[in-house]
Amino acid sequence: MPALDQLNTLLAGGVFAIMLVFTRVGVAMLNLPGFGDTSVPAQARLFLALAFSVAITPILRAKLPAAPDEPALLILLLGSEVIIGLFIGTVGRVILTSLETAGQLIGHQTGFSIASVFNPQIASAGSLAGSLLSTMAVVLLFVTDLHHMLLRGLLGSYDLFPAGGPLPIGDLASVIAKVVAASFTIGVQLSAPFIIVALMLMVGLGLIARMMPQIQIFFVAQPIQLALGIFIFAVVLPAMALFWMTKFQMSMQTFLSPGTP
């Protein structure tokens, strides 16, 4: 029956389109901050990625290629989507790790590095300050609706990297290298107030130890260092959060084209 054959062809094309979109979206969401955290159940991440894929497939349908006849071409197509999804998720995740870098530097300058706690954002033990900053960043992503930009970035990526198009491996590697360098720079910038104050404190304590050698300067310095670190944290934390969110927004803005809804 021609009508039944046409319906089967239409359904098969729709399933392939959803599968193709889900390949990129699912891999990206495994790495994006907030969506890909280990604290989020795997079933929830899978359902969210599938639901988002189904929602945006009608918008992207005209940009998606037809299902290839050869299995090798299908594997190649899905493989390129996996690489693009991994690239998008990695960009967001690397920017988030700048907070762990800042936390490590802050910990060394304030004495917080004595203790370490589990950081769910990196799925391993990390510095106390880094865990606090990373958790705060994920909360702010959802509170300020920046997670909408992550989803819009996934949608806009089909304008930058069309499905079935040539894969710019060299450009992707170059962007990842720049993002890693930018992440380290952001971490140093976030920890700069602590480094400067700690340097001034060490110079002052060194002068005191020079003038009054009988003072056990280590026992005097430790509580001062901790108290000063907590005070600076309380003062600059809002500015640190705003600075990081601005940098994160700029990094994800790369994937948004003017026509992205």
- Where exactly are the structural domains of the chain? 2-255
pLDDT digits (tens, 9 = 90+) for 14-41: 778 888 888 888 888 888 888 877 777 7
Q: Is the pLDDT of residue 3 over 50?
A: no
**Residue 230 token pair:** 């907590």
| Span of 107-111, 117-121, 164-168, 228-232 with lowest mean pLDDT | 117-121
CA distances from 187 to 28, 133, 147, 244 (A): 23, 11, 21, 9
pLDDT digits (tens, 9 = 90+) for 45-68: 888 888 888 888 888 888 888 877
pTM, rounded to two decimals: 0.80
Q: What percent of the chain has pLDDT over 90?
A: 1
How many helices and strands in the chain, by DSSP H and E? 7, 2
Q: Other CB atoms closer than 10 Å to residue 172's CB: what's the count?
A: 18
Choice between 70 and 122, residue whose per-residue pLDDT is larger = 70
Q: Is the pLDDT of residue 9 over 60?
A: no
pLDDT of residue 5: 45
**Residue 217 token pair:** 């300067």
Q: To the nearest 5 percent, what fractions of the chain are helix, strand and coil? A: 80, 5, 20
